[in-house]
Chains A and B, each alone.
Chain A
Amino acid sequence: MASSSGWETRNEGAQGKRYLAFVARPENLLLGEPLCLFIKELTPGRRKYEARFVRAVLSSGEGSHEGDTLLLSSLSGRAHQGTLVIKILEDLGDYLTGSPYRRHSGFFRAESRQT
Chain B
Amino acid sequence: MVPKDVREFITTLESTGDLVRIREAVDWELEVGAISRRSSELGGPAVLFEQVKEYPEGFRILGGPLATWRRLAIALELSAETSVREIHRVYEERVKHPVKPVVVKSWSHRRHIMQCNDIDLFRFPAPLCHELDGGRYIGTWDVVVCRDPDTGWTNWGMYRFMVHNRRFLVGAPSPASHLGMLLKQKFIPTGQPMPVAVVIGADPLCSLVAATGFRPGESEADFAGALRQEAVELIKCQSNDLLVPANAEIVIEGEVLPQAAAPEGPFGEYTGYRREADHLGVLMRVTAITYRDSPILTMSCLGVPPDDSSVAGALGVSIGLKRRLLEHGLPVTDVFLPPEGASHLVVVGVKQGGSAMAQRVRDILTGRRAWYTKIMVVNEDVDVFDMRQVWHAFAVKCHSFRGIFLTQQEGVGSELTPCYSKEERERRVGAIALFDCTWPPEWSQSDIPVKMSFDEAYPAEVKNKVLNKWSRYGFK
Contacts and interface: CB of A to CB of B under 8 A. Distances in A.
Q: Give the most central of A24, A52, A79, A100: most B CB within 10 Å.
A: A100
Contacts of A46: 54-55, 122-123
A51 B276 CA distance: 18
B258 interface: yes
Contact of A100 (B122, B168, B283): B283
A50 B165 contact: yes
A104 B277 contact: yes
A75 B166 contact: no
Interface in B116-159: 122-123, 128, 130-136
A95 B256 CA distance: 12
Contact of A38 (B54, B166, B263): B263
A63 interface: no
Contacts of A94: 164-165, 167-168, 260, 262, 283
A99 B266 contact: no
Interface string A24-44: 100000000000001010000
Interface string A97-113: 11111111101000000
B431 to A, nearest CB: 21
A96 interface: yes
B274 interface: yes
B259 interface: yes
A99 B128 contact: no
B33 interface: no
Contact of B135 (A40, A75, A99): A40
A78 interface: yes
A100 B277 CA distance: 13
Contact of A74 (B164, B175, B259, B276): B276
Given A46-B54, A96-B280, A53 B132 contact: no
Interface in B46-80: 54-55
A94 B180 CA distance: 22
Given A94-B164, A94-B168, A101 B280 contact: yes
B133 A77 contact: yes
Contact of B29 (A4, A22, A48): A48
Nearest to A41: B165
B274 A97 contact: no
Interface residues of B, number: 44
Given A100-B281, A101-B175, A105-B278, A49 B163 contact: yes
A76 B122 CA distance: 24
Given A46-B54, A48-B29, A95 B278 contact: no
Given A76-B276, A105-B278, A22 B134 contact: yes
A48 B258 CA distance: 27
A94 B134 CA distance: 16
B278 A51 contact: no
Contact of B278 (A75, A77, A97): A75
A103 B259 contact: no
A95 B277 contact: no
A30 B260 CA distance: 25
B275 interface: yes
A5 B132 contact: yes
A33 B122 CA distance: 33
Interface in A57-102: 73-79, 94-102
Contact of A49 (B54, B123, B136, B282): B136
Interface string B275-294: 11111111100000000000
Contacts of A98: 259-261
A1 B421 CA distance: 34
A27 B407 CA distance: 38
B261 A96 contact: yes
Contacts of B258: 99
Given A51-B164, A102-B279, A73 B132 contact: yes
A24 B29 CA distance: 24
A77 B129 CA distance: 13
A47 B277 CA distance: 22
A4 B34 CA distance: 15
Q: Which residue, A40, A47, A53, A94, has most C-beta atoms of chain B within 10 A?
A: A94
B262 A99 contact: no
Interface string B234-278: 000000000000000000000001111111011000000011111
Nearest to B164: A51
Contacts of A47: 122
A49 B262 contact: no
A50 B170 CA distance: 12
8 contacts: A38-B262, A45-B54, A78-B132, A94-B168, A95-B262, A95-B283, A100-B260, A104-B278
Interface of A: 4-5, 22, 24, 38, 40, 45-53, 73-79, 94-105, 107
10 nearest A-B residue pairs (beta carbon)? A77-B132, A100-B261, A75-B276, A76-B276, A77-B266, A95-B260, A100-B282, A104-B278, A95-B262, A46-B122
Given A53-B262, A76-B266, A94-B283, 19 more contacts: A22-B134, A22-B266, A49-B128, A50-B163, A50-B165, A51-B165, A52-B165, A76-B277, A77-B131, A94-B167, A94-B260, A95-B260, A95-B262, A96-B261, A98-B259, A100-B183, A100-B279, A100-B282, A107-B280
Interface of B: 29, 54-55, 122-123, 128, 130-136, 163-168, 170, 175, 180, 183-184, 188, 257-263, 265-266, 274-283
